[in-house]
């Protein structure tokens, strides 16, 4: 039986694969354009996401929306999800066990979406996606902003990792790196995925 977005979302809402389901108010499957060539993958929902069942709607989400707007991308035109679909208590980092238990859902989302570009937001997302691509993750300091031409689940994809937007809020010193990544490599792979070429990127370089 073929997978579908509807059946996958319902399965995530009923999921009890790991202990996180005991603490959640709402699972957060993801949202956006399910025919988009661009996928953003964060780490795990926070408090506001848990309350609403939507990804990236708290302060970090507002910053992500600003970053997308800054490079001329409407948030509704991409698909946004997390590696882990339920909020870890106290907004702690997801454990490796939680990531493994939940990763099946992200794998199925990638297979359904068939993206041309994937942007990993945060080190947990980056590490997991690098592993799927057969790459060795070193650190966000070294990997952020690097465009990787990879194969993930049989799909040829351009993969870019950057710091989680929340990092820029907690550590304003990282904002420069995050915004540079968005204005440069992330904009480049999104433009290519949408078939927009490099004109927007060249304009940014000239500045």
DSSP string, 92-131: PPPPHHHHHHHHHHHHHHHHHH--SEEEEESHHHHHHHHH
Return the pLDDT at 201: 42
Asked if residue 99 lies in contact with residue 84, where contact means CB atoms within 8 angstroms, the answer is yes
Token duo for residue 126: 């980056």
Amino acid 3: pLDDT: 78
Question: CA 101 to CA 121: how far, in whole Å?
Answer: 19
And the tokens for 120?
Answer: 């990993």
Coil, strand or helix: which one is 18? coil
Q: Determine the Cα–Cα distance for residues 179 and 174; give it in Å rounded to an integer.
A: 9
C-alpha 190: how far from its chain's center? 13
**Which residues of the chain fall below pLDDT 50?**
1, 198-207
In angstroms, the CA 127 to CA 19 distance is: 22
pLDDT at 142: 97
Quick one: pLDDT at residue 196? Answer: 77
The pLDDT tens digits of the residues spanning 59-76 come to: 999 999 999 999 999 999
CATH number, position 115:
3.40.470.10
Per residue in 177-196, pLDDT tens?
Answer: 999 999 999 999 999 999 97
Task: Specify the pLDDT at position 197.
Answer: 59
Cβ-based neighbours of 13, under 8 Å, separated by 6 or more: 27, 29
Kindly give, in sequence order, each residue whose CB lies less than 8 Å from that of residue 173, ignoring residues fewer than 6 positions away.
none
What whole-number distance in Å separates Cα of residue 10 and Cα of residue 72? 32
DSSP lists the bridge partners of residue 149 as 158
- Going by C-alpha positions, the residue among 204, 173, 193 that lies closest to residue 33 is 193
The token pair at 182 is 């968005």
- Cβ atoms 89, 25 nearer than 8 A: no
What is the count of structural domains for the chain? 1
pLDDT at position 46 is 96
d(CA 120, CA 39): 9
| Domain, as residue range, for 146 | 5-206
């Amino acid at each position: 039986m073929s997978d579908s977005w509807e059946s996958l979302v319902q399965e995530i809402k009923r999921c009890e694969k790991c202990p996180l389901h005991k603490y959640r108010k709402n699972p957060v499957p993801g949202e956006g354009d399910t025919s988009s060539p661009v996928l953003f993958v964060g780490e795990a929902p926070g408090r506001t996401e848990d309350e609403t069942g939507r990804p990236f709607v708290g302060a970090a989400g507002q910053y992500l929306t600003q970053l997308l707007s800054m490079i001329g991308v409407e948030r509704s035109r991409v698909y946004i999800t997390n590696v882990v679909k339920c909020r870890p208590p106290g907004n702690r980092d997801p454990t490796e066990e939680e990531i493994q238990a939940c990763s099946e859902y992200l794998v199925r989302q990638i297979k359904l979406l068939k993206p041309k570009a994937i942007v990993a937001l945060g080190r947990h997302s980056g590490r997991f996606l690098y592993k799927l691509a057969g790459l060795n993750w070193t650190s966000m300091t070294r990997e952020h902003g690097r465009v990787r031409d990879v194969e993930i689940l049989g799909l040829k994809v351009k993969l870019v990792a950057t710091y989680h937007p929340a990092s820029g809020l907690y550590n304003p010193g990282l904002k420069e790196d995050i915004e540079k990544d968005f204005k440069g490599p992330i904009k480049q792979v999104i433009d290519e995925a949408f078939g927009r070429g490099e004109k927007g990127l060249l304009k940014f370089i000239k500045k």
